[in-house]
């Protein structure tokens, strides 16, 4: 394993001392937001985690190495170059063997975080069951990863480019707890409401840390989805965002966009249709998740 994994010295030291580290993904940088906002956001997220007293570890594959804790230059590189490959679980062996660069999704970031011994991971939104999945079979590998890899993912729920109800059903089948931070409702990324309920409401980082410790102490494999709603002041108008999403999905169908290209296409189109408003909301919710993830990591480390 050592020959593949490259953990930066600060992250390595922090983990060795049993202190708090928060993993961050890189597909959100390369495929989730446009340059230069992507780089600016990724660097701010790291700062937010530091300000809370934890150490950030942005994860990616660079020249075939599984990198845990990118430098500022590496983040800039990933955000700027155009041809970095979106890398989920199935892609990892090829990207590594070819010594190529790969931006890691939620699934592959969980895998690499777990190899490094990191338990807490902050992002924007998880992948899920797409609308019309009964015909397309498009279900993100993120969900299967949550079922088997022991990393908790702090996110703002799932976007309504997905079928949120089916995503929750899938997670239930695979035994993945979905908890709402200070809410009973599953948030829908850009909005606090979705019309779906979470399994449990939790009101403090301590409560989440204790549930995680209990889960893993009992040998219950897999992660947890900690759904943290976007702050009231930054959320988008429910009807506006859903109209934009419906339009983007229709265009994707007309253009025949599918597979791994689907999520990046929809994100970019929704941003264009909303005149950039969705990007601003996206950035704010990631900051909010980073801050909560750091608090949970600090509580977990005390237990």
Known catalytic residues are 25, 159
| Contact string (CB under 6 A) for ligand PSU, positions 247-276, x = contact | -------------x--x---x---------
Contact call for residues 114 and 150 (beta carbons, < 8 A)? yes
State how far the Cα of 60 lies from the Cα of 10, in Å rounded to an integer.
17
How many residues touch ligand PSU (CB under 6 A)? 18
Binding piece for ligand PSU, criterion CB under 6 A, among 24-32, 53-61, 62-70, 205-213: 24-32
Tell how far CA 165 is from the center of its chain. 19
138 forms part of the interface with Mn ion (CB under 5 A): yes
Angle, nearest 10°, between helix axes 277-302 and 262-273? 120
Angle, nearest 10°, between helix axes 277-302 and 205-217? 60
| Contact string (CB under 6 A) for ligand PSU, positions 131-160, x = contact | ---------xxx----------------x-
79 forms part of the interface with ligand PSU (CB under 6 A): no
Number of H helices, E strands in the chain: 13, 11
User: What's the closest the beta carbon of residue 297 comes to Mn ion, in angstroms?
Assistant: 29
State how far the Cα of 263 lies from the Cα of 158, in Å rounded to an integer.
12
DSSP E strand stretches across the chain? 5-7, 21-24, 55-62, 65-68, 85-87, 102-104, 120-122, 152-155, 178-181, 200-202, 224-227
277 forms part of the interface with ligand PSU (CB under 6 A): no
Ramachandran region of residue 131, left (φ > 0), alpha (ψ -120 to 50) or beta? Answer: beta
Q: Are strands 85-87 and 102-104 parallel, antiparallel or unpaired?
A: parallel
User: What's the closest the beta carbon of residue 192 comes to ligand PSU, in angstroms?
Assistant: 16
State how far the Cα of 205 lies from the Cα of 73, in Å rounded to an integer.
32
- Among positions 96-135, residues that touch ligand PSU (CB under 6 A) are 105-106, 124-125, 127
277 forms part of the interface with Mn ion (CB under 5 A): no
Which of Mn ion, ligand PSU, none does residue 210 bind to, with CB < 5 to 8 Å depending on kind? none
28 forms part of the interface with ligand PSU (CB under 6 A): yes
Q: Which of 21, 22, 24, 27 binds ligand PSU (CB under 6 A)?
A: 27
- Nearer Cβ to Mn ion (69/127): 127
User: What's the closest the beta carbon of residue 215 comes to ligand PSU, in angstroms?
Assistant: 22
- Among positions 25-54, residues that touch Mn ion (CB under 5 A) are none
Which residue in this structure is represented by tokens 């999520």?
Answer: 263
Residues found near Mn ion in the complex (CB under 5 A): 138
Residues found near ligand PSU in the complex (CB under 6 A): 25, 27-28, 31-32, 88, 105-106, 124-125, 127, 140-142, 159, 260, 263, 267
């Amino acid at each position: 394993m050592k020959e593949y994994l490259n953990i930066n010295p600060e992250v390595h030291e922090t983990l060795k001392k049993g202190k708090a580290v928060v993993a961050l993904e890189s597909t959100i940088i390369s495929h989730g937001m446009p340059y230069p906002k992507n780089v600016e956001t990724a660097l701010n997220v790291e700062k937010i985690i530091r300000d809370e007293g934890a150490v950030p570890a942005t994860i990616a594959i660079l020249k075939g190495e599984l990198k845990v804790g990118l430098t500022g230059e590496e983040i800039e590189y990933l955000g700027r170059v155009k041809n970095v490959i979106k890398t989920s679980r199935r892609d990892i062996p090829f990207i590594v063997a070819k010594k190529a660069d790969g931006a890691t999704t939620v699934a592959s970031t969980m895998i690499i975080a777990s190899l490094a011994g990191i338990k807490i991971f902050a992002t924007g939104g998880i992948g899920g069951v797409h609308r019309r999945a009964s015909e397309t079979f498009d279900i993100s590998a993120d969900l299967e990863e949550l079922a088997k890899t022991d990393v908790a993912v702090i996110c703002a729920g799932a976007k309504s480019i997905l079928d949120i109800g089916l995503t929750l059903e899938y997670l239930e089948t695979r035994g993945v707890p979905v908890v709402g931070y200070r809410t009973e409702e599953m948030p829908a990324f850009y909005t606090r409401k979705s019309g779906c309920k979470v399994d449990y409401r939790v009101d403090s980082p301590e409560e989440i840390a204790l549930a995680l410790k209990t889960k893993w102490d009992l040998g219950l494999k897999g992660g947890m989805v900690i759904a943290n709603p976007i702050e009231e002041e930054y959320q988008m108008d429910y009807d506006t965002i859903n109209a934009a999403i419906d339009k983007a999905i229709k265009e994707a169908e007309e253009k025949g966009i599918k597979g791994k290209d689907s999520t990046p296409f929809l994100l970019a189109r929704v941003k264009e249709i909303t005149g950039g408003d969705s990007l601003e909301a996206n950035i704010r919710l990631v900051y909010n998740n980073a801050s909560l993830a750091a608090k949970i990591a600090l509580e977990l480390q005390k237990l």
